[in-house]
Amino acid sequence: MKSTYYIICFFLLIPSFLVMGQDISLYQQFNGRYDYTAIGNTMNTEENGVAGPCSILTSSSADLNLNTDQNVVAAYLYWAGSGNGDLDINLNGIPVTSERNFNDALDATRVFFAAFADVTDIIVNEGNGNYTISDFDLTTTILPYCSTGTNFGGWAITIIYQDDSLPLNQLNVYDGLQSVPDALSITLDNLNVLDNEDAKIGFVAWEGDRSLAVNEQLTINGNVISNLPLNPANNAFNGTNSFTGATDLYNMDIDVYNIQNNISIGDTSATIALTSGQDYVMINNIITVLNSQLPDATISIDSRTVNCGDYNVELFYSISNFNSTDILPANTPIAFYYNSNFIGATETINDIAIGASESNSIILNLPEGIDPNVTIVAIVDDVGTMNGIVTETNENNNSTFIDIQLLLIPEAETLPYLIGCNEGFETATYNLFDALETLNYTEEEVTFYNSLDDLETESSPILIPTDYNNNLNPETIYARLVSPPCYEIFQFDLTIENCPPYIPQGFSPNEDTYNDWFNIQGLYDIFVEHELQIYNRYGNLIFVGTDGKPWFGKTNRGINNVGSKVPVGTYFYILNLNDPNYQPYMGWVYVNY
């Protein structure tokens, strides 16, 4: 079991008087059928020393010879020397500028530099052949260093290649710039050694002297290792290249050691120690190659779906097993977090092969009322406690995150109400678009609803908004206006008022079903308390009507002729609406047959 945020650590024992230098740490890891080689050369014309010449080259060369089945996947150039550094050089005439710089110091006056550049493209394009570093000029720098024998310069290229005939290996590139006047110890954790055949460790070191051999050792798990005849057990830093057999790399070393008898099957850690009892040596990189079959789970978030007004988010993700030497087992757990709070979990479905991926999705329920700007963290190989169950080649690449903006709907904006004329029984006819006259929209972008729930679910829209009859008085209508990426909500009330009635100036009560009564429009079932008085030309009251008693041209007042049709002629009316907003209406109406 491991912690999701566990990081491979290197415990470095460094003399306290060093105020400069960068600890050796993991720079890059390769998992698969990988191995490496290295080439390089010195800029010194001979081993430095107080009796030697104070001169240095500005260019030197080395040959690369890979087999046809060895395909370059990475190439890292390191160069170093006395002083603060020449950080712009040429490789086969191609300008190279330092991408990462390192510094160390023997004392206040003797400082040293190292530089790094990824030259993979150059090595892939150039292929096998001669490689020349030029315009590497320390000629004006080394003079103060010559009297103490610390004048040096050199370069090395570490070349990682893939070869299908190799076993599945884990190749680690560690670098920095750390001096070894006494001891440098590194503990490598999280190993899973399945086979120690061809296990190896190598390094690039600067400023070693062949003539100084006081306790210069490389140990693995406490065992002193050597590489005879190039590297005796007591003289590890002696100006050699283990790959080419060169012995004239003055004041630098490109060495590699077989450690297959010093690490055991089943080991989960290894301790590497470098010592130098007298000679001042700086380690620039360390390479380990171990047969270790482990998966490497990574997670990426491919896309997400956020719905308007919804605190649920659907994440589409991929689990990959790219930088691996074994399958990632099915049911590897996956956890999701918001503000460090666990909010959801799932797991892989199938075994994921080396170099393969698996995609899926999950719906996460976020707490309602949160800030709409949300960061969700996804971690593979996590049981929901930030701890996992799978041992991997890299335990520090299991997580990713995504920033999401929830599409939260703002509160409904209230618009001015619409007034409709009472058409009877407190109903009116409305064009609902009239309420939106202050907005910029097209009718196709708007849908009307009778409730907020219907609006949010887009259920039961009002089908004919241009000819709508209210159901209540007052009644609230909700409008949904498309506003990418979401929508806006507006609400307004429908109210009713009694509009002035329209009074005709004549009718013909001849029972032909056309205009047979004194039809005052906007009166009946609206002004239900009204009273209509009809007078003849002599001023006599001949009819009194109410909401349930319209005038059909017959009398209902007077001593004689009650219920009789009135003769043709002009009659006068007083219409009292009994509404505080209206005064009584008075006028005339002509009756004809």
What pLDDT is stored for residue 12 in this prediction? Answer: 30
What pLDDT is stored for residue 523 in this prediction? Answer: 93
CA separation for the pair 317, 238 (Å, rounded): 52
Global pTM reads 0.63
The tokens 């659907």 sit on which residue?
314
130: Cβ–Cβ under 8 A, 6 or more apart, which residues?
61, 62, 63
* CATH number for the domain whose boundaries are 298-405: 2.60.40.10
Nearest CA among 516, 574, 521 for reference residue 545: 574
**Taking the domains of the chain in order of start, what are their residue ranges?**
22-292, 298-405, 413-497, 502-593
Query: Residue 498 is encoded by which pair of tokens?
Result: 């009694």
What pLDDT is stored for residue 219 in this prediction? Answer: 86
Which element (helix H / strand E) includes 64? strand 60-64
Q: Going by CATH, does the domain composed of 502-593 fall within 2.40.160?
A: no
Give every residue of the chain whose pLDDT is below 70, as ranges.
Answer: 1-20, 50, 182-183, 188-196, 213-214, 277-278
Around Cβ 463, how many Cβ atoms within 10 Å?
Answer: 8
The CATH number for 413-497, chosen from 1.10.3470, 3.30.1450, 2.40.480, 2.60.40, is: 2.60.40
CA separation for the pair 44, 57 (Å, rounded): 6
What pLDDT is stored for residue 213 in this prediction? Answer: 63
What pLDDT is stored for residue 198 in this prediction? Answer: 76
CA separation for the pair 303, 297 (Å, rounded): 19
β partners of residue 39: 157
What pLDDT is stored for residue 559 in this prediction? Answer: 74
CA separation for the pair 439, 455 (Å, rounded): 19
Per-residue pLDDT tens over the stretch 445-488: 999 999 999 998 899 999 999 999 999 999 999 999 998 888 99
Nearest CA among 287, 32, 249 for reference residue 158: 287
SS3 455: helix
339: Cβ–Cβ under 8 A, 6 or more apart, which residues?
375
What pLDDT is stored for residue 438 in this prediction? Answer: 93
195: Cβ–Cβ under 8 A, 6 or more apart, which residues?
167, 265, 291
CA separation for the pair 45, 58 (Å, rounded): 11
Q: In sequence order, which ranges of 339-403 are alpha helices (DSSP H)?
A: none
What pLDDT is stored for residue 25 in this prediction? Answer: 87
- Residue spans of beta strands (DSSP E) within 473-529: 475-483, 486-497, 506-507
CB distance 394 to 296 below 8 Å: yes
Q: Is there a common fold for 298-405 and 413-497? A: yes
What pLDDT is stored for residue 10 in this prediction? Answer: 27
